[in-house]
Amino acid sequence: METAAEPEVLEPALWQKLLIASDTAAFASAFVRLQALSLPGTTSAALFLVEQGRPVLSAAWPARGTEATRALAELAALVVAQSRTILRSGGKGSGHRLIGQPVEIDGGLVAVSVISVATEPGADDKETASRQVRQMQWGLAWLRDHLRATASGEVKRERDRSRATLEVLASVLEKEDFRSAGIAAATELALRFDCSRVSIGFTRFGSIRVTAISHSASFARSMQLVQQLGAAMDEAVDQRALIRFPPAPGDVVATHAHAGLAHAQRSANLLTIPLLVVDRFVGAVTFERAAGQPFEPALVQLLDVVITAIGPILHEKRRNDRWLVVKAGDALHTQLKRLLGPGHVWRKLFVAGLLASVLFFSLATDTYRVTANALVEGSERRSVVSAYDGYVQTASARAGDFVKAGDELASLEDRELNLERLRWEAEKQQHRYEYDRALAAREPANLNIIQSRIDQADSQLRLLDEQLARLRILAPFDGLLVSGDLSQRIGASVARGETLFELSPLTGYRVVMVVDERDIADLEVGQAGQVIFTSLPEQPFDITVEVITPVAVQVQGRNGFRVEAAIEGDLNRLRPGMTGVGKVAIEQEPLIAIWLHPILDWLRLTLWRWTA
């Protein structure tokens, strides 16, 4: 227990300590002691800072860990939970009162001050408690100002860190190539943070290679300085730790290479920060300062933030400046690591499926076939033409009808020929009558003349009979009319030699295909294939190429060649004019070659077109 004289002696020193405190811990220690001295009868006091919604002890009087401190901690937790001033008795017969005061800044709870005060028997507890609460609140103004100033200082330091980081980033980003960016970054860091030299290095083949030194546009890699810098950077990367030289108390790192660098270059203070990108160390940055300029913890933290920000950018610029072959090799190496290393299950499954597909298509073969549209035609196709000029009288059949030999297909008008025949018949009868008269009159000279006229009439009659017979257009054989319909031309004129019908026999067919010019070179006479017709999709027919015409035809705007093939099988269901798809077998080829055949042909033609 303090004596009555102790407050008078201690209080000025405590106020001085409170005013010059550089951190919250020193301030809290002085504040708690002054808070206890300001309230007569105080037996214990404590200050708790609120972190993540929980009170954390910052300072206590008397020492931490006592029973009184634990009671104060329980009250502090209750104040944090309720965010209000709480007074309660220390326990029945204890003679103590506990007071907990919340400290708020901008509406947020930041601290809790708790004291334990001895109570006097018979005193007005309510009035005394109110006076004690007011006294605590007056003292809390000092604490509130300190915490607000501390928070402002943190914000300022954070702002300074952000500004420094952004300015260094800007100097790096404005350079297009890695070498210029590295020199700019090293020089900017040296100037901004008052360093005698800043060096940047990146790993290559397992060791650090110095790539940039501040204020140096070029340097020889064989220089002793460069080799010592690389060794110091390797030392930091190998230990995966930031290294200060001389090491700070508590640093457990090897500094042999740093000691050698400091001795050789007469650099009193060194700091090396490894460059971590994603999940691996890719390089390091070494800072050098003269004597009397140590790397303070705040500066180390700031430099660590800056290097963490610029490291990935420099690494990316370095990767982008590599030769294309190196990039390809690195990409291949990365993919192989992902493929053969742990994880990446879907990638492994995809590659396994791809390899299986390549193996399958390399070994699997099939018949390469040329495909074209097919049309059924009769093996013989005869035209039925008009023998004379005339007019259509009847039409007994039309395209699509089956006819037998001798069936009438159509007829032409015979009125004029019948009239002509009647005329010649009458003339013949007249000549016979004259012949009989000359015979009776025994006029031999006239008999020969009249007989010649009778013979002429007979000839004309025979000619007319033949013409009348040919006015009936008859089917020359059993077959199918594939074209011709005179039912719409009754009474119309037809010319001699005009094709009226086309007739195809039912005993033989052929398949006609128009093959694209890109595939015609693969076809040869005698090659076999199959055809399927639209009306008979369930029944394939075998075909054999018989004729390949050398003259191109236009089909739907593309060049093709007419190919005729003999068809085999049950032809009873076939009809001329049926369409389908024919395939002619060429040879056995790998499946992948068959599928890529059109693309490969197109590539060959394109390369030929664009190459000299």
DSSP 167: H
The tokens for 334 are 């990365």
Looking up tokens 């005329």 gives 423
Q: Show me where the domains of the chain are located.
A: 6-153, 174-321, 382-501, 508-610
Instruction: Report the distance separating Cα 529 and Cα 519, nearest Å.
Output: 15
Sequence-distant (6+) residues with CB within 8 A of 335 are none
| CB contact at 8 A, 56 and 50 | yes
Sequence-distant (6+) residues with CB within 8 A of 200 are 182, 185, 186, 210, 211, 212, 213, 283, 284, 285, 314
Q: What is the pLDDT of residues 458-478, one digit of tens each?
A: 888 888 778 777 778 888 877
CATH classification code of 174-321: 3.30.450.40
Does this model's pTM top 0.85? My answer is no
| Residues of the chain with confidence (pLDDT) below 50 | 1-10
Q: What is the pLDDT of residue 530?
A: 94
| CB contact at 8 A, 372 and 582 | yes
**Cα-Cα end-to-end distance for the chain:** 106
Q: What is the 3-state secondary structure (H, E, C) of 524-542?
A: CCCCEEEEEECCEEEEEEE
Long-range residue pairs from 158-165, CB within 8 A, at least 24 positions apart, any chain: 160/302, 161/301, 161/302, 161/305, 161/306, 164/192, 164/302, 164/306, 165/305, 165/306, 165/309, 165/310
Looking up tokens 């006819």 gives 403
- The reply to whether omega before 62 is within 30° of 0 (cis) is yes
Q: What is the pLDDT of residue 151?
A: 64
Question: Any idea which fold 6-153 has?
Answer: Beta-Lactamase (3.30.450)
Domains 6-153 and 508-610 are alike in CATH topology: no
Instruction: Report the distance separating Cα 70 and Cα 64, nearest Å.
Output: 9
Q: What is the pLDDT of residue 212?
A: 93
Instruction: Report the distance separating Cα 307 and Cα 189, nearest Å.
Output: 10
Per DSSP, the three-state class of 138 is helix
The tokens for 586 are 């060429």
For residue 170, give the nearest of 156, 188, 158 by alpha carbon: 188
CATH classification code of 508-610: 2.40.30.170
269 Rama sector, left if φ>0, alpha if ψ -120 to 50, beta otherwise: beta
For residue 272, give the nearest of 249, 254, 292 by alpha carbon: 254
